[in-house]
Chain A
Amino acid sequence: MDWTTPLAWMGLGFFWVHTLLMAAHAGAQGAALGRRLRVWASGGLRRARVVEGAGVGRQLAVHRVEQTGRSKGDPKIHFHDRAYHSELEGGALELEDGVVAKLPAGGPVEVWIDPTSQRARADVFGESEFESAHALARKARGFSRVLEHPVCDGDEVWFYGVGEDGAPLMTVSTASATYVGVLVPSPWTPVIATFDPRPWLRGRMWVARLAALGIVTSAVVVTAPMFLWEPFGLEAKLGALGAVIVFNLQQLALKMVRDYTREPSQCHVRGCWRGAAGESTAS
């Protein structure tokens, strides 16, 4: 007996198992974002203005990205992110209804800076700065820098973390990670955002959901020939070849979704400085 046929069916079975795992992963990513959106929609996320910042430069909070830049000798420095920090330096916010919320230094917080502006900030450098950075970037240790995005006195922000009376929400302190197939921050973690985060969350949530659907749909498309035409005929061959290609594309798509849905406090900033003309790009 030639066992090729049952083994090919088994391969299709493995393909589907992994398709469903990847769809579940993307779906869970979307569900995590959706859960935070629901928590915020039920009250708590409000516009606010920073009225007091206890940190240096009257900072209420700061978002830091530690980066290392490396160069192979061409006039470019490619950065990778080493760590992300959100720190509350203490101060007060005046909420839109006039309530003033006092925020102690060192409390749990996620500082959300618009990813586009984070990447734009990563691009700013001077020609003299480039020269010294480039010399270090060519060495094994690389060129280290910290991108800081402060939230200061007078800034308009969106805030989640206190109840109607300005007191901390009961669940705010439980800022632990939650496991829903992926590691996500707790939806109860206080957030200070420099932009309205709801459309951002909603958009990412739908992208993740659609990606989950797309992963399954692509598998259906390449599997269909096995059932619609003669099994193991020409169409089935094309389907099998398509499955090999789609399987790799699904993994890549999941990677893109994972990166795209990283919350702004953890999003990839990276970036690349280009010398001479002083142009730069962030990815």
Chain B
Amino acid sequence: MEQILTGSDSRAEPWLVRRREEWRQVGIVAVYNALILTPVFVASARHPLVFLAACYFSFLNAVVIHNHLHKGVFHSKQLNKAFRFLLSFGALYPASANIPSHNLVHHHFGDDGQPDWAAPGHVRFRWNFLNLLHFPNVAGPNTFTGVKRWSDVTRHAGFVLQYNAETVFAFAVTGLLLWGNFWPTIAFVVLPQFYGARCILRINLIQHDSCDVDSEWNHSRNFVGRGFNWIMCNNGYHTIHHNRAGMHWADLAQAHREQAVPRMDRRLDERSMVGYLLRAFVFKVHREPTVSGAGHEDVKESDDLGLPSRPERFAAADEVAIQEAGGAT
């Protein structure tokens, strides 16, 4: 079952990182930190293009948080924990928040009665564009109050300590930068931090709005552009990510083509995220109708993959998430 859920194989592991592709994630984080720190110290780097790049890479930094909290980048658990500090500074929120909020709650879609803190239904402005803007204002506090309640009952050893330490580190480093050079830090560090943190919340709306979360294969929207997925570390393939949460991100593209595409409503495959955003949020006032897969002959209800049931998958993914996070439930 583990192989089915995770797609793991017996390839030789490279030095330091678990997969060769992880260097892409390390590179993203390195570029991002260079983009936000250089303008603080070098006046000539304070340019709008640097700012825009910093915002974009801040979002990518949050994508790395997502991937890293599913499957750690490094062999060493200590190095993985240390990496979370750097990622937390980049996002100005503790990376470990992803364990309860994303891995253990969002991935369950409310099946276990714990409502998804980032469900699209939390925002319901008539003008859908406002929902896109406003979503993080609702999902953010849902997440952090939810994490607080979760931490009251978790038996995940050391979670609270790690979470608090990441919070202190992120705010302390940002505070030091503000103390040293206030306005450049506001413009080139804090604004990108906010942008990335809020966009990763917003992506929940983009990937699940008007989808049928009760469906086996039509619960998510995918963005399948090759260039997009290269830089996004395959985070466009969301259906297969939900169904095989333990699968390494580098394997998602192939699994999407082989397993998700034959079974899902093809309307949930979008070539371009920008195109989708323009169509669904700018050129259209109201929400799009739910894509349920009904009436599409390509949709296969039967599961010939030997895919375990949703509760079994959730339980297995939870176990992986907790192990990756470095503790027991």
A: residues with CB less than 8 A from B are: 2-5, 7-8, 10-11, 14, 17-18, 21-22, 24-25, 66, 68, 70-73, 76, 78, 80, 82-83, 138, 140, 179, 181-183, 232, 237, 240-241, 244, 250-252, 254-255, 258
Contacts and interface: CB of A to CB of B under 8 A. Distances in A.
B191 A11 contact: yes
Given A179-B124, A183-B121, A78 B149 contact: yes
Given A179-B126, A255-B142, A2 B43 contact: yes
A8 B47 CA distance: 12
A14 B130 CA distance: 13
A197 B113 CA distance: 28
A252 B113 contact: no
Q: Choose among B47, B114, B183 the residue with the greatest number of A CB atoms under 10 Å from its CB.
A: B183
Given A5-B183, A72-B153, A73-B155, A140 B48 contact: no
A25 B134 CA distance: 9
Contacts of B283: none
A275 to B, nearest CB: 14
Contacts of A251: 137-138, 140-141
Contacts of B191: 7, 10-11, 14
Nearest to B48: A3
Contact of A3 (B47, B142, B318): B47
Q: Which 5 pairs from chain A and chain B are nearest by CB?
A: A82-B113, A255-B141, A7-B187, A70-B153, A21-B134
Contacts of A76: 152
A33 to B, nearest CB: 16
A22 B124 contact: no
B41 to A, nearest CB: 13
Contacts of B190: 11, 244
Nearest to A2: B46
A83 B113 contact: yes
30 contacts: A2-B43, A3-B47, A7-B188, A7-B191, A8-B187, A14-B191, A18-B134, A21-B130, A22-B134, A22-B137, A24-B125, A25-B137, A66-B113, A68-B114, A72-B152, A72-B153, A76-B152, A78-B153, A80-B114, A82-B114, A138-B155, A140-B329, A179-B124, A179-B126, A181-B126, A241-B178, A251-B140, A251-B141, A254-B137, A258-B138
A254 B122 CA distance: 12
Interface of B is mostly: helix
A254 B114 contact: no
A181 B125 contact: yes
Given A21-B133, A244-B190, A255-B142, 4 more contacts: A3-B46, A7-B191, A11-B186, A14-B191
Contacts of A182: 124
Contacts of B114: 68, 80, 82
B151 to A, nearest CB: 9
A181 B186 CA distance: 31
Contacts of A24: 125
Given A4-B184, A83-B113, A237-B182, A72 B137 contact: no
A182 B113 CA distance: 21
B315 interface: yes
A245 B45 CA distance: 27
A3 B51 CA distance: 9
B187 A183 contact: no
Interface string B294-319: 00000000000000000000010010
B154 interface: yes
B184 to A, nearest CB: 5
Interface in B126-144: 126, 130, 133-134, 137-138, 140-142
B145 interface: yes
A255 B48 contact: no
Contacts of A73: 155
